[in-house]
A and B are shown apart, each in its own frame.
Chain A
């Protein structure tokens, strides 16, 4: 076979020498001006740590080197969280049937919405005067914290003392695609990097055999904003999210062609790298050395990725806990994968679950039918995630974020002025709920209040930018300093806004 550790070590040593020289790389001097800091040297040796030794990252501000873009880098300060799992319920679940208990809304059920609520307001589908719609589920207080939860989340109540619920989240977009982009890229338009891209740009990847930013989808559709919600925008494309799939190849092109086994692939990569080594001796181009290490990494990824994407070998109690059934692109499977991924050092795992847009145009889209089924499909698994992370001692260093792209109206939707056939709610940007857990977030907190019908935030109002600033903060970033120069100015995830939500930071 000829795959000796010796040879690998020798090449890597040369590659690392190349990386050391790279710090003067002209292209990136530009970065140093923009707040990402004067680039000190990231350790390439740590980047090549696929041989499995303990990581040793030199503490320095991040730096981007296109030859080794995934070198682990240190954030601005030591963050509480090492990784993030963002659970996005695409379509936007109703806060009024989950976390934001509004008994007064019961009394208004079926009554015309007061004109004062409609003046100057624009809705996606509501036209004219809609009727108010009371809460469609029962609420109770749970846990030591006494947090109100609806009966749509029978499992989640057991971990309610682990989470911070934010009831005063607002956005400024009331259509799915722009609002999803807003949540993940800080802009309603296409073209900005997503949060996970910013994080991998800032931190690199802990595990060279796995992508630093993984995306998993369930529910049968991509999110409304498409792959742009995990795109890298103007950041180098290497920082975009890598979609891992439960069905088909777990990562595109990771499977060798039929007829080629591991041994043969190993031999073929050896041959490629040996020829490349000759090319290096001839041309002296350091880029060849990094190509050699990329081929080695590819070979290792081919083992690591399918291994991690396989949940068949998980013990039965784990399957019971999460409600997983191997072989399906289900939310439960994805959430178990998310846990496995962060366990292996993946920085950012983004889950999208499609189908939360309950307008009341069909039974599946009814707040008292379809919605309850959607809740059931996530409740057990997301609860299991918190318990499982906790029992593995990972909850403290893993930030879990849950939410949709906006909220729902306390009014019943009357699309095109007509009462919808089922009970549904329109898009609502002015108040919705999210929760966060682990990663240095306070436990058992409910933060933010809406008015008696859940229409506007009256206290503890936070914006999408604040959510982003807080996530970056937990990872050790000053969100104002994680920037990238583009079109003549430094851009950042939070644009020109954002404050860390100190009230929920432990």
Chain B
């Protein structure tokens, strides 16, 4: 017996030696896990990006190793004793010892710092700033390769990662949820709605092992999938139907929403999806749709308040684009770098402005019309446009043909009246348009007149006899045109006039005079924009007369859908980008050129210095942030919280990931295996056993993991504002399936819109537009749709990377009393009554099943039946209330249906209904 254990001895020795040598060569101190937390917590407030007390900053290694103001080096790699930092941390005198007048560092902390300096004071990169590496999927548990057991719970790689952490935390996964729960969960997650009956029945009747996957594939292919994910993207892109600020007037940008729905539905690869939104206009041979995609960054606000500085708000919009790009696409907080180097993350002050330089040459200038706009001609004018296009292609040089169609599509490149200066008896009227009085002048700065012999203006004029003179470079300079300005037709009009050909870039002085005007201060002429061009070409070609009249009529076309888009300035209008000293746009620092932060992956080779180059960098597989951010976001949408909880911040101040390897694994898969397919990624998530778990939680598990961060149970979270509304409309049979188009105005209580200087009204939509999905509801920034806001929707003034879910009595009041929910209750009650006649039991059971997506358990039934009875007795005795409850005079105006309305209304408010179980 004894002999048989002798073989253990060498093993014991081996283990002992291993353990001993481990002690001797303790692993090197890790900058990220050991040092950075100390520095961030104890040092960086005074020695970081904002403040560099004593000339010492710990943000970047080169700075930290530099000589400080005292002439000493705070950190001497390899030599803690020569490092001033260590000396100052260990002094006795309170006025000398660091942290200054704060709790001293613990001995342990100081030792760590000493060891770290001894080991060379290496800087480590934060995990999120290092390119994603392929991860090894955790093996199933094995013992010296001898025993290998395959865990039947694991369905895909996600589960292997989750399983590993569960084991580390001594947790066990929960069994799969029942089919109905799963059906409702996955359907709400993928399409934002309960599954259509046909699909539901098919799944419930399908007993094969592929039933669930088939369901997932079917749901992913539904057009409602695109609507559901667009609803998410609208928060990210700060989509709204108004311009924001005081006047908060309407903006037509719904075509962008439609673009998103289509993009999600056709599963446009995410890299392409981002490239088109950031720089679709710059793609070679950009299609109309690609240009429309750039409306993404035209969702920034425009300020129409009289007296506001257009340049200030143009810059505010650019800054918003920079911050949105970082927060939404790259999960980083870049906004602080606006005023100073980032206090915690490796971004330098000037890098903000280098990045901003990518956006600073977009054509928009805070104009009232939101120029540049993309024009899509509709009705008969779409035919006219096509006719003109084909005439131009066959009769003109491609350059001329392109210029004509491009101008009709964009009205660019035009010079906006509001860029004029040197006003003499002229000014920007309401700070929006150039206004000239009886005798007046103004200047257009820096205009390229090479080969231009025509000027088209969009203008208003009141007197009949106005005369406009154009001079080069001074009020008395060479006259290049003298133009009679007739009284304009109603509103804005167009006028085409010849100018003397010249070449080069000039200041154009505008001089106006009208004899008819009585007083000097009387208004004569107002400009929206100027377009320096050439006469309509092809005079000698057949069909010229029609073509040029088509051109004129399209300029004035009322049949046009407009969408603000991103277009870049022509070369001669390029703006220079300067650092704003301490973030103040009025104080210019050094000039910078487009570039990305040096601490991240470099720009791809040959990336142009414009938004297209920027898009190439953002979608470069080596970009450490883009894929991780999207994976984390999709995970949050499906599991209720991100792997990094702070979706908006994966930087050092964000909450560290719970499953970093899983995040990286999925990010790698997303880019390299799925070729940026969002559908494939989403499918991987919902196919996992992790996702399919039952969401019921025991007291013990709740205590161990209250917030389900280790995923030992399925996700259970309240539905979003949009989902709650859509679901109520759907289960009651009211929801319209109509897709796309202008935003709609479903019922809204009176008195919500009272914007000053804005006569716009909430005009209730008719017919099915009352019952469209929530993402089509008109979104006014300063007065958003009330029920959206009460369920944590954002005003969308700026982007919202994450909605924080709250639980309030105002939410209860919304689903109890908002007329949408009352109407849904009525509609369903009437349907039930129609179908089940006097069978109360069937009405209640069928109603519950429709709303909650599962058969009614008897304990629920009893409660709801009691409510029915209480209501019935009441309505039986009160015909007036009965009539009111039903709302309209019809055959259902009787106590049974009225009582059912009370019951269905209660059902729509159940926790299990407004929650994804």
Contact assessment for A291 and B911 in the assembled complex, using a CB-CB cutoff below 8 Å: yes
A349 to chain B, nearest CB (A): 17
Does A115 lie at the interface of the complex (its beta carbon under 8 Å from any beta carbon of B)? Answer: no
Tell me whether B716 and A283 are in contact (CB under 8 A): yes
How far apart are the CA atoms of A249 and B819 in the complex, in Å? 13
Cβ-neighbour of B808 out of A124, A258, A294 (below 8 A): A294
Partner of B246, one of A176, A191, A227: A176
Q: Whole-angstrom distance between the alpha carbons of A288 and B915 in the complex?
A: 9
Interchain CA distance A9-B423 in the complex, whole Å? 73
Chain B proximity mask over A317-353: 1 for CB below 8 Å, otherwise 0: 0000000000000000000000000000000000000
Specify the chain A residue showing the minimal Cβ separation from B865: A271
User: Are A224 and B323 interface neighbours, CB within 8 A?
Assistant: no
- Option from B323, B718, B798, B863 in Cβ contact (under 8 Å) with A190: B798
Known: A26-B709, A427-B307. Is A254-B817 also a contact (CB below 8 A)?
yes
Inter-subunit contact B874/A224 (CB<8 Å): no
Q: Determine whether the beta carbon of B786 is less than 8 Å from that of A488.
A: no
Tell me if A238 and B806 are in contact (CB < 8 A).
yes
Interface residues of A in 113-127 (CB under 8 A from B): 122-125, 127
Contact at A226–B248, with CB atoms within 8 Å?
yes
A262 to B655, CA, bound (A): 46
Complex interface: stretch among B121-129, B788-796, B834-842:
B788-796
The answer to whether B789 touches A240, judged by C-beta atoms less than 8 angstroms apart, is yes
Q: List 23 A-B contacts (CB under 8 A).
A: A66-B805, A69-B806, A70-B808, A174-B307, A175-B305, A191-B798, A226-B781, A237-B789, A237-B792, A237-B793, A248-B751, A253-B814, A257-B822, A260-B902, A263-B874, A264-B902, A272-B910, A279-B910, A286-B702, A298-B812, A427-B307, A487-B336, A488-B651
Which A residues touch B755, using CB under 8 A? 221-222, 226
A417 & B521 in contact (Cβ 8 Å cutoff): yes
Decide: B521 and A272 in contact? CB cutoff 8 A. Answer: no
Is there contact, CB below 8 Å, between B786 and A284? no
Q: How far is the CA of A46 from the CA of B119 in the complex (A)?
A: 54
Judge whether A267 and B781 touch: CB under 8 Å: no
Q: What is the CB-to-nearest-CB distance from B754 to chain A, in angstroms, rounded to a whole number?
A: 4
Between A127, A191, A245, A275, the greatest number of chain B beta carbons within 10 A of the residue's beta carbon is seen for A275
A211 to B750 alpha-carbon distance, docked (Å)? 21
A236 x B885 contact (CB < 8 A):
no
Q: How far is the CA of A271 from the CA of B698 in the complex (A)?
A: 25
Specify which chain B residues have a CB less than 8 angstroms from the CB of A224 in the assembled complex: 246, 305, 756
A227 touches B902 (CB 8 A): no
B469 close to chain A: CB less than 8 A: no
Q: Which residues of A contact B (CB under 8 A)?
A: 21-22, 24-27, 29-30, 66-70, 122-125, 127, 174-178, 189-191, 211, 217, 220-228, 231, 236-238, 240, 242, 245, 247-249, 251-261, 263-265, 267-272, 274-276, 278-280, 282-288, 290-291, 294-295, 297-298, 301-302, 354, 416-418, 427, 485, 487-489
Q: Is the CB of A283 within 8 A of B697?
A: yes
Q: Which residues of A contact B301 (CB under 8 A)?
A: 190
Q: Are B756 and A260 in contact, CB atoms less than 8 angstroms apart?
A: no
Chain A residues within 8 Å of B805, by CB: 66
From A238, A269, A302, A488, B333 is in contact (CB under 8 Å) with A488
Chain B residue with minimal CB distance to A70? B808
- For the complex, give the distance between the alpha carbons of A276 and B859 in Å: 11
Question: Is the CB–CB distance between B795 and A26 below 8 Å?
Answer: no
Distance between Cα atoms of A19 and B912 in the complex (Å): 21
Q: Which of A237, A245, A354 contacts B794 (CB 8 A)?
A: A237
A256 and B902 alpha carbons, distance in the complex (Å): 11
- Of residues A174, A178, A259, which shows the largest number of chain B Cβ atoms within 10 Å of its Cβ? A259
Q: Is the CB–CB distance between A178 and B882 below 8 Å? A: no
Residue of B nearest to A173 (CB): B308
Q: In whole angstroms, how far apart are the Cα atoms of A354 and B429 in the complex? A: 24
Q: Do the beta carbons of A290 and B798 come within 8 Å of each other?
A: no
Candidates B245, B697, B902; contact of A285 at CB < 8 Å? B697
Question: Is there an interface contact between B521 and A354, defined as CB atoms closer than 8 Å?
Answer: no
Bitwise interface map of B from 816 to 857 toward A, beta carbon under 8 Å scored 1, else 0: 111100100000000000000000000000000000000001
Contacts A257-B819, A488-B335 aside, 20 further interface pairs with beta carbons under 8 A come to A30-B655, A66-B806, A69-B806, A125-B307, A176-B756, A222-B754, A225-B782, A228-B797, A251-B810, A251-B813, A253-B787, A259-B875, A260-B881, A272-B906, A283-B695, A284-B699, A288-B911, A297-B809, A298-B812, A417-B521
Residue interface mask B126-141, A partner, CB < 8 A = 1: 0000000000000000
The reply to whether B859 and A278 form a contact with Cβ atoms under 8 Å apart is yes
In the complex, the answer to whether A294 meets B811 with C-beta atoms within 8 Å is: yes
Q: Which B residues are in CB contact (< 8 Å) with A217?
A: 754
Q: Which of A175, A255, A264, A275 contacts B910 (CB 8 A)?
A: A275
Instruction: Verify B867–A294 contact, CB threshold 8 A.
Output: no
Q: B28 to nearest A CB, angstroms?
A: 28
Cβ contact within 8 Å between B649 and A488: yes
Asked if A275 contacts B749 (CB within 8 A), the reply is no
Query: Chain A residues with Cβ under 8 A from B751's Cβ?
Result: 245, 247-248
Within 8 A of A (CB), among B770-810: 781-784, 786-787, 789-790, 792-795, 797-798, 804-810
Does B870 belong to the interface (CB within 8 Å)?
yes
The distance in angstroms between the C-alpha atoms of A67 and B716, with both chains bound, is 15
Query: Is B917 an interface position by the 8 A CB rule?
Result: yes
Size class of the B contact interface (CB-based, 8 Å): 35 or more
Contact residues, B873-916 vs A (CB, 8 A): 874-875, 880-887, 898, 902, 905-906, 909-912, 915
Q: Is the C-beta of B568 less than 8 angstroms from some C-beta in chain A?
A: no
Choose, from B88-96, B339-347, B537-545, B554-562, the stretch at the interface. B339-347
* Residue of A226, A231, A248, A267 with most partner-chain B CB within 10 A: A226
Query: By CB atoms of chain B within 10 A, which of A124, A283, A302 has the most?
Result: A283
B53 adjacent to chain A (CB < 8 Å): no
Residues of A within 8 A of B281 (CB): none
Q: Which of B246, B809, B909 is packed against the most chain A CB atoms within 10 Å?
A: B809
Q: Is B664 an interface residue (CB 8 A)?
A: no
Please judge, given known A-B contacts A191-B797, A253-B816, whether A488 and B342 are in contact too, CB under 8 Å: yes
Rounded to whole angstroms, the CA-CA distance of A288 and B702 in the bound complex is: 14
Residues of chain A lying within 8 A (CB to CB) of residue B646: 30
B500 at the interface (CB under 8 A from A): no
**Cβ-defined contact, B792 with A25, below 8 A:** no
Please indicate which of the listed interface residues A177, A288, A417 has the most CB atoms of chain B within 10 Å of its own CB. Answer: A177
Instruction: Please judge, given known A-B contacts A190-B245, A237-B792, A489-B336, whether A124 and B307 are in contact too, CB under 8 Å.
Output: yes
- Asked if residues A127 and B427 are in contact (CB atoms below 8 Å), the reply is yes
Q: In the bound complex, do residue B813 and residue A253 qualify as a contact, i.e. CB atoms below 8 Å apart? A: yes
Kindly list chain A residues whose C-beta atoms are within 8 Å of the C-beta of B910. 272, 275-276, 279
B427: A residues at CB distance < 8 A: 127, 416-417
Q: B885: which A residues are within 8 A, CB to CB?
A: 257-260
* A residues less than 8 Å from B787 (CB atoms): 253
Q: In the complex, what distance in Å separates the CA atom of A190 from the CA atom of B303?
A: 11
Q: Are A256 and B817 in contact (CB under 8 A)?
A: yes
> Does the CB pair A242–B307 fall under 8 Å?
no
* Bound form: Cα–Cα A418–B517 in Å: 15
Nearest to A211 among chain B residues (CB) is B810
**Residues of A with C-beta under 8 A to B303:** 177
Asked if A228 and B795 make an inter-chain contact with CB atoms under 8 angstroms apart, the answer reads yes
Complex Cα distance, B795 from A253, in Å, reads 19
Partner of B863 from the list A67, A228, A254, A275 (CB cut-off 8 Å) is A275
Given A222-B783, A416-B427, A267:B792 Cβ within 8 A:
no
Within 8 A of A (CB), among B699-738: 699, 702-703, 706-707, 709, 716, 718
- The residues of B that contact A251 with a CB separation of less than 8 Å are 810, 813
The listed residue (B702, B822, B866) touching A271 by CB distance below 8 A is: B866
The residues of B that contact A301 with a CB separation of less than 8 Å are 809, 813
**B863:A271 contact, CB within 8 angstroms:** yes
- Chain A hits for B822, CB < 8 A: 257
Contact B750 A248 (CB under 8 A): yes
Least CB distance from A126 to B in Å reads 10
What are the interface flags for B458-474 relative to A under an 8 Å C-beta threshold, 1 for contact and 0 otherwise? 00000000000000000
Q: In the bound complex, do residue A236 and residue B911 qualify as a contact, i.e. CB atoms below 8 Å apart?
A: no
B309, B653, B813, B915, most chain A CB atoms within 10 A: B813
